[in-house]
Amino acid sequence: MRILIVEDDREAASYIRKGLRESGHVADHAGDGEEGLEMARAAEYDVLVVDRMMPRMDGLSMVAALRADDDRTPVLILSALGEVDDRVEGLKAGGDDYLVKPYAFAELLARVEALARRRDPDTVRTKLVVGDLEMDLLARTVVREGEDILLQPREFRLLEFLMKHSGQVVTRTMLLEKVWDYHFDPQTNVIDVHISRLRSKIDKPFPRSLLHTVRGAGYRLQA
Protein backbone atom coordinates (compact mmCIF):
# COMPACT_ATOMS: atom_id res chain seq x y z
CA MET A 1 0.00 0.00 0.00
CA ARG A 2 1.19 3.53 -0.75
CA ILE A 3 0.87 5.93 2.12
CA LEU A 4 1.77 9.62 2.38
CA ILE A 5 2.69 10.99 5.77
CA VAL A 6 2.26 14.75 6.11
CA GLU A 7 3.90 15.74 9.36
CA ASP A 8 6.27 18.55 10.30
CA ASP A 9 7.86 16.75 13.24
CA ARG A 10 10.56 14.82 11.43
CA GLU A 11 11.12 12.45 14.31
CA ALA A 12 7.49 11.46 14.55
CA ALA A 13 7.35 11.13 10.76
CA SER A 14 10.30 8.79 10.55
CA TYR A 15 8.90 6.71 13.38
CA ILE A 16 5.62 6.21 11.55
CA ARG A 17 7.37 5.68 8.28
CA LYS A 18 9.59 2.99 9.65
CA GLY A 19 6.68 1.18 11.24
CA LEU A 20 4.61 1.27 8.07
CA ARG A 21 7.50 -0.03 6.04
CA GLU A 22 8.01 -2.89 8.43
CA SER A 23 4.40 -3.82 7.82
CA GLY A 24 5.05 -4.03 4.12
CA HIS A 25 3.81 -0.64 2.94
CA VAL A 26 5.46 2.10 0.93
CA ALA A 27 5.51 5.37 2.83
CA ASP A 28 6.49 8.83 1.58
CA HIS A 29 6.85 11.95 3.64
CA ALA A 30 5.95 15.59 3.23
CA GLY A 31 7.07 18.19 5.77
CA ASP A 32 4.12 20.55 5.63
CA GLY A 33 0.65 20.99 4.19
CA GLU A 34 1.71 22.65 0.95
CA GLU A 35 4.24 20.01 0.14
CA GLY A 36 1.73 17.35 1.13
CA LEU A 37 -0.91 18.77 -1.17
CA GLU A 38 1.52 18.85 -4.04
CA MET A 39 2.64 15.27 -3.49
CA ALA A 40 -0.89 13.99 -3.02
CA ARG A 41 -1.88 15.61 -6.33
CA ALA A 42 1.14 14.25 -8.15
CA ALA A 43 0.87 10.63 -7.11
CA GLU A 44 -1.85 8.16 -6.24
CA TYR A 45 -1.82 7.24 -2.58
CA ASP A 46 -4.03 4.70 -0.88
CA VAL A 47 -4.14 6.61 2.38
CA LEU A 48 -2.90 9.96 3.68
CA VAL A 49 -1.79 10.36 7.28
CA VAL A 50 -1.97 14.08 8.04
CA ASP A 51 -0.86 15.98 11.11
CA ARG A 52 -3.35 18.63 12.09
CA MET A 53 -0.99 21.37 13.11
CA MET A 54 1.80 22.29 10.73
CA PRO A 55 3.53 25.41 9.49
CA ARG A 56 2.61 27.03 6.16
CA MET A 57 -0.60 25.09 5.63
CA ASP A 58 -2.29 23.17 8.42
CA GLY A 59 -3.70 19.70 8.00
CA LEU A 60 -7.34 20.64 7.85
CA SER A 61 -6.82 23.24 5.13
CA MET A 62 -4.81 20.76 3.15
CA VAL A 63 -7.53 18.14 3.32
CA ALA A 64 -10.17 20.72 2.46
CA ALA A 65 -8.15 21.76 -0.60
CA LEU A 66 -7.82 18.16 -1.67
CA ARG A 67 -11.53 17.50 -1.33
CA ALA A 68 -12.23 20.66 -3.33
CA ASP A 69 -10.25 18.95 -6.12
CA ASP A 70 -12.58 15.98 -5.81
CA ASP A 71 -9.79 13.81 -4.49
CA ARG A 72 -11.34 11.22 -2.20
CA THR A 73 -8.22 9.51 -0.97
CA PRO A 74 -8.91 8.42 2.63
CA VAL A 75 -7.28 10.66 5.22
CA LEU A 76 -6.33 9.87 8.80
CA ILE A 77 -5.86 13.05 10.81
CA LEU A 78 -3.38 13.11 13.68
CA SER A 79 -3.90 15.61 16.41
CA ALA A 80 -2.80 16.59 19.86
CA LEU A 81 -6.27 17.96 20.50
CA GLY A 82 -8.76 15.50 21.80
CA GLU A 83 -11.95 17.39 22.43
CA VAL A 84 -15.11 16.18 20.79
CA ASP A 85 -15.49 19.45 18.91
CA ASP A 86 -12.01 19.15 17.43
CA ARG A 87 -12.81 15.70 16.25
CA VAL A 88 -15.98 16.89 14.59
CA GLU A 89 -14.07 19.72 12.96
CA GLY A 90 -11.51 17.30 11.62
CA LEU A 91 -14.10 15.04 10.11
CA LYS A 92 -16.01 17.99 8.68
CA ALA A 93 -12.91 19.18 6.87
CA GLY A 94 -12.96 15.89 4.99
CA GLY A 95 -10.94 13.62 7.23
CA ASP A 96 -12.07 10.00 7.33
CA ASP A 97 -10.70 9.16 10.72
CA TYR A 98 -9.10 10.97 13.59
CA LEU A 99 -6.36 9.80 15.93
CA VAL A 100 -5.35 11.67 19.05
CA LYS A 101 -1.74 11.87 20.17
CA PRO A 102 -0.25 10.12 21.93
CA TYR A 103 -1.28 6.96 20.13
CA ALA A 104 0.17 3.49 19.87
CA PHE A 105 1.68 2.70 16.52
CA ALA A 106 -0.38 -0.48 16.33
CA GLU A 107 -3.50 1.63 16.45
CA LEU A 108 -2.32 3.91 13.69
CA LEU A 109 -1.51 0.91 11.55
CA ALA A 110 -4.88 -0.69 12.24
CA ARG A 111 -6.70 2.50 11.28
CA VAL A 112 -4.68 3.11 8.15
CA GLU A 113 -5.36 -0.41 6.97
CA ALA A 114 -9.02 -0.13 7.88
CA LEU A 115 -9.31 3.05 5.80
CA ALA A 116 -7.69 1.45 2.81
CA ARG A 117 -9.93 -1.57 3.10
CA ARG A 118 -13.00 0.58 3.38
CA ARG A 119 -12.13 2.27 0.15
CA ASP A 120 -12.28 -0.70 -2.15
CA PRO A 121 -14.64 -3.10 -0.40
CA ASP A 122 -12.05 -5.38 1.11
CA THR A 123 -9.81 -5.66 -1.90
CA VAL A 124 -11.25 -8.92 -3.12
CA ARG A 125 -8.19 -10.96 -3.65
CA THR A 126 -8.80 -13.10 -6.64
CA LYS A 127 -5.30 -14.42 -7.06
CA LEU A 128 -3.14 -16.13 -4.48
CA VAL A 129 0.59 -16.59 -4.93
CA VAL A 130 3.08 -18.56 -2.87
CA GLY A 131 6.49 -18.90 -4.45
CA ASP A 132 5.93 -20.17 -7.99
CA LEU A 133 2.54 -21.57 -7.11
CA GLU A 134 -0.45 -19.55 -8.24
CA MET A 135 -4.15 -19.94 -7.68
CA ASP A 136 -6.88 -18.08 -9.50
CA LEU A 137 -10.01 -18.13 -7.39
CA LEU A 138 -12.30 -17.00 -10.17
CA ALA A 139 -11.06 -19.31 -12.85
CA ARG A 140 -10.54 -22.03 -10.23
CA THR A 141 -7.18 -22.88 -11.69
CA VAL A 142 -3.86 -23.70 -10.13
CA VAL A 143 -0.55 -23.28 -11.90
CA ARG A 144 2.99 -24.07 -10.86
CA GLU A 145 6.01 -23.28 -13.02
CA GLY A 146 3.61 -22.65 -15.87
CA GLU A 147 2.09 -26.13 -15.54
CA ASP A 148 -1.65 -26.43 -15.02
CA ILE A 149 -2.55 -28.52 -12.01
CA LEU A 150 -5.93 -30.16 -11.72
CA LEU A 151 -7.36 -30.35 -8.24
CA GLN A 152 -10.47 -31.94 -6.85
CA PRO A 153 -12.90 -29.59 -5.11
CA ARG A 154 -11.80 -30.53 -1.62
CA GLU A 155 -8.15 -30.36 -2.57
CA PHE A 156 -8.80 -26.91 -3.98
CA ARG A 157 -10.40 -25.70 -0.76
CA LEU A 158 -7.55 -27.16 1.22
CA LEU A 159 -4.92 -25.45 -0.87
CA GLU A 160 -6.85 -22.19 -0.87
CA PHE A 161 -6.88 -22.18 2.91
CA LEU A 162 -3.21 -23.03 3.11
CA MET A 163 -2.32 -20.30 0.64
CA LYS A 164 -4.38 -17.71 2.49
CA HIS A 165 -2.34 -18.56 5.57
CA SER A 166 0.98 -19.11 3.90
CA GLY A 167 3.93 -18.76 6.21
CA GLN A 168 1.77 -19.67 9.17
CA VAL A 169 1.17 -23.02 10.72
CA VAL A 170 -2.30 -24.28 10.08
CA THR A 171 -3.53 -26.78 12.65
CA ARG A 172 -5.61 -29.86 12.03
CA THR A 173 -8.46 -28.31 13.98
CA MET A 174 -8.41 -25.23 11.76
CA LEU A 175 -8.50 -27.40 8.68
CA LEU A 176 -11.38 -29.49 9.97
CA GLU A 177 -13.38 -26.37 10.70
CA LYS A 178 -12.56 -24.31 7.66
CA VAL A 179 -12.11 -26.89 4.94
CA TRP A 180 -14.44 -29.65 6.12
CA ASP A 181 -16.91 -27.66 8.25
CA TYR A 182 -16.49 -30.31 10.92
CA HIS A 183 -16.77 -28.99 14.43
CA PHE A 184 -15.64 -32.20 16.05
CA ASP A 185 -12.81 -34.63 15.61
CA PRO A 186 -13.81 -37.26 13.06
CA GLN A 187 -11.23 -39.64 14.53
CA THR A 188 -10.05 -40.56 11.09
CA ASN A 189 -7.11 -39.58 8.96
CA VAL A 190 -9.03 -37.54 6.38
CA ILE A 191 -6.58 -34.71 6.64
CA ASP A 192 -3.53 -36.88 6.21
CA VAL A 193 -5.01 -38.44 3.14
CA HIS A 194 -5.89 -35.15 1.50
CA ILE A 195 -2.57 -33.60 2.35
CA SER A 196 -0.91 -36.57 0.76
CA ARG A 197 -3.01 -36.22 -2.39
CA LEU A 198 -2.36 -32.51 -2.56
CA ARG A 199 1.35 -33.08 -2.21
CA SER A 200 1.42 -35.59 -5.00
CA LYS A 201 0.04 -32.90 -7.28
CA ILE A 202 1.62 -29.64 -6.19
CA ASP A 203 4.94 -30.80 -4.76
CA LYS A 204 6.02 -34.20 -6.02
CA PRO A 205 6.55 -33.17 -9.67
CA PHE A 206 8.71 -30.21 -8.66
CA PRO A 207 12.18 -29.86 -7.18
CA ARG A 208 11.33 -27.67 -4.20
CA SER A 209 8.42 -28.53 -1.97
CA LEU A 210 6.12 -25.90 -0.52
CA LEU A 211 3.93 -27.87 1.83
CA HIS A 212 5.79 -28.64 5.02
CA THR A 213 4.77 -30.78 7.96
CA VAL A 214 5.22 -29.16 11.34
CA ARG A 215 5.16 -32.18 13.58
CA GLY A 216 2.91 -31.87 16.57
CA ALA A 217 1.39 -28.67 15.23
CA GLY A 218 0.05 -28.94 11.70
CA TYR A 219 1.17 -27.89 8.23
CA ARG A 220 2.77 -24.81 6.76
CA LEU A 221 2.80 -23.67 3.15
CA GLN A 222 5.92 -21.68 2.46
CA ALA A 223 8.24 -20.93 -0.43
d(CA 76, CA 27): 14
Span interacting with DNA, options 29-37, 45-53, 93-101, 184-192, rule CB under 7 A: 184-192
With CB under 5 to 8 Å by kind, the binding choice for 51 among a copy of itself, DNA, none is none
Span interacting with a copy of itself, options 35-43, 50-58, 162-170, 184-192, rule CB under 8 A: 162-170
Please, which residue, 34 or 134, has the CB nearer to a copy of itself?
134
We find the least distance from the C-beta atom of residue 124 to DNA, in angstroms, to be 23
Q: Which of residues 72-101 bind a copy of itself (CB under 8 A)?
A: 72, 74, 91-92, 95-97, 101
Please give, one letter per residue, the 3-state secondary structure of the chain: CEEEEECCCHHHHHHHHHHHHHCCCEEEEECCHHHHHHHHHHCCCCEEEEECCCCCCCHHHHHHHHHHCCCCCCEEEEECCCCHHHHHHHHHCCCCEEEECCCCHHHHHHHHHHHHHHHCHHHCCCEEEECCEEEECCCCEEEECCEEECCCHHHHHHHHHHHHCCCCEEEHHHHHHHCCCCCCCCCCCHHHHHHHHHHHHHCCCCCCCCEEEECCCEEEECC
With CB under 5 to 8 Å by kind, the binding choice for 180 among DNA, a copy of itself, none is DNA
**How many chain residues are in contact with DNA, going by CB under 7 A?**
23
Tell me if 120 contacts a copy of itself by CB under 8 A: yes
Please, which residue, 45 or 219, has the CB nearer to DNA?
219
d(CA 221, CA 162): 6
Tell me if 201 contacts DNA by CB under 7 A: no
Please give the single-letter amino acid code of residue 44.
E
Among 186, 205, 209, 223, which residue interacts with DNA (rule: CB under 7 A)? 186
Among 169, 174, 176, 190, which residue interacts with a copy of itself (rule: CB under 8 A)? 169
Q: Which residues bind a copy of itself (CB under 8 A)?
A: 11, 72, 74, 91-92, 95-97, 101-107, 110, 115, 118-123, 138-140, 152-154, 156, 167-169, 214-217, 220
